[in-house]
Amino acid sequence: MTEDKRRRYSAPVVDGIGKSASRAMLRAVGFTDEDFRKPQVGIASTWSNLTPCNMHINRLAEESAAGADEAGGKALIFNTITVSDGIANGTEGMKYSLMSREVIADSIETTAGCEGFDGLVAIGGCDKNMPGCIMGLARLNRPSVFVYGGTILPGENHTDIISVFEAVGAHARGDLDLIEVKQIEETAIPGPGSCGGMYTANTMASAIEAMGMSLPGSSAQNAVSGSKAEDCRAAGAAVLNLLDKDIKPSDVMTREAFENAITVVIALGGSTNAVLHLLAMASTVGVELSLDDFVEIGRRVPVLADLRPSGHYMMSELVAIGGIQPLMKMLLERGLLHGDCLTVTGRTLAENLQEVAPYPQDQNIIHAFDNPIKADSHLRILFGNLAPTGAVAKITGKEGTHFTGRARVFHSEEEAQERILDGTVVAGDVLVIRYEGPKGGPGMREMLSPTSAIMGKGLGSDVALITDGRFSGGSHGFVVGHITPEAAEGGPIALVEDGDTITIDAVSNRIELDVPDSELAQRLSAWQAPQPRFTRGVLAKYARTVSSASLGAVTDLP
């Protein structure tokens, strides 16, 4: 490929007498005459010191920039935002979390589109900035590599952020005193990196690697490690190889690549948020993907990983035995992955996995196919008169597969949380938390605080929770989210009354309200849509433009 084709976006910005002013600006930030003849590589950094997930990413961005420069490019680092779910959970601030995914995608598209970068590296470390990065790269469709910031190490006594959330519930139950809760709080988060179980961050990192948009091994590295620094440096160099070969995100993010991502997420026992994000990422790159695809793939793929929150081990322990590459090779050999998918190495998935060694024989984290954690998917896509266009549950089987109980209705997460902690919620209840969907919240908050309180109170097997909001990857128990249509749009969840009988069946994949159709019609005729919570600002714009959760909750549908 000629040099001009490698510079198809930067050349119009810096070449010729008419661009003298542009060059003058760039000389001030370090460009030399030679640099203007190089392809420009934008390094999208999600660094901030407001969360451990991203506090180290400035150093990783510098490594990627060095890798791009050494390979013959000219790197420029720019920042996008990030927010912290772990800090904002249970507050009004959490309404900004899912919405931040769109802002991140918008900002990467905006910066790269304006500045004329020829290729990009995006580095993410939290569960919304990762899909946001991928969506931004997909919109631009320029040679790009995604880098995961890496997982955190375990806290004292094998604790993590979920240990802290559940300690609050255990305190309300009387099992922990304030000093014991404070001890967990002080030691559970030992330093940089994303939350340590197979929560949403590690789930999305694994999905992106399985899709081929990260270099092999990127999803399973500790944040504080030499291997992570090497991964970043290699990613910068890889963009130059992609420029040479003219390989773009649309060449990698194919329908088959998304099927690979779903397969790996299921095998790992990953987060329900993967459904929302993979739908959004597919929509952005123009790949048809629906809830039905999760059902179909889920029939043939087992859960093999004994990882938190439902299992025992943390991501750092999976890293120690080889990460997800040996698992992917197992799935490929079983015929469950598409090995001919192109990846950002310039090679196929099968070629990347060819030399990967199997897991050690004495490991207990990844089960064999003849001894799965669950024989089919834990991600259950439910339909029924409560969710005509779908809902998403994470049912590993440890919670059971059926639940029938009486509705206890709440119009906000905070109200539900108070009633769980004060003992109002009792065994046999189905908590209904509504008006928390993408439009109604707005923002589709995670219900980590109430689900953790339920577990901490010892009600994990006795109470179910359903919502038009969503769940943290750290949530577990008998929980169903993403109920669509959402309450704010007059979906059936808006019509549930205290005492109604609700049945959740994770075998037949049904969620039903035991109320006659005639009664539901009568309730709907009397229902009034709530007034918008926000009329100006970013949340108001989000509520006006966001699509249904069953379509990925994107804001740029045509």
218: CB partners within 8 A, 6+ apart: 146, 147, 148, 205, 209, 231, 235
Dist. CA 299–CA 83, nearest whole Å: 35
Peptide bond into 442 cis (omega under 30): yes
Q: What are the catalytic residues?
A: 472
**Ordered per-residue pLDDT tens for the chain, 558 residues:** 445 789 999 999 999 999 999 999 999 999 999 999 999 999 999 999 999 999 999 999 999 999 999 999 999 999 999 999 989 998 999 999 999 999 999 999 999 999 999 999 999 998 899 999 999 999 999 999 999 999 999 999 999 998 998 898 889 889 999 999 999 999 999 999 999 999 999 999 999 999 999 999 999 999 999 999 999 999 999 999 999 999 999 999 999 999 999 999 999 999 999 999 999 999 999 999 999 999 999 999 999 999 999 899 999 999 999 999 999 999 999 999 999 999 999 999 999 999 999 999 999 999 999 999 999 999 999 999 999 999 999 988 777 899 999 999 999 999 999 999 999 999 999 999 999 999 999 999 999 899 989 988 999 989 999 999 999 888 888 899 999 999 999 999 999 999 999 999 999 999 999 999 999 999 999 999 999 989 999 999 999 999 999 999 999 999
Q: How far is CA 440 from CA 110, 468, 546, 548, in A?
A: 28, 9, 11, 11
Which residue, 419, 429, 418, is CA-closest to 459?
A: 429
Contacts 24+ apart (CB under 8 A), 516-519: 517/385
3.30.70.2860, 3.40.50.2300, 3.40.47.10, 3.40.190.10: CATH of 38-153+191-353? 3.40.50.2300
- The angle at the Cα of 301, spanning 296 to 307, to the nearest 5 degrees, equals 130
Residue whose entry in the numeric block shows the structure tokens 């908050």: 445
Q: Amino acid identity of 162?
A: I
- Nearest 10 degrees: CA dihedral of 463, 467, 473, 475? -20
397: CB partners within 8 A, 6+ apart: 374, 378
Dist. CA 85–CA 469, nearest whole Å: 14
Dist. CA 210–CA 212, nearest whole Å: 5
Q: Amino acid identity of 334?
A: R
Does an H or E element contain 339, and which? none
Which residue, 395, 558, 551, is CA-closest to 484?
A: 551
Domain boundaries, the chain: 1-37, 38-153+191-353, 379-551
The superfamily (CATH) of domain 379-551 is IlvD/EDD C-terminal domain-like (3.50.30.80)
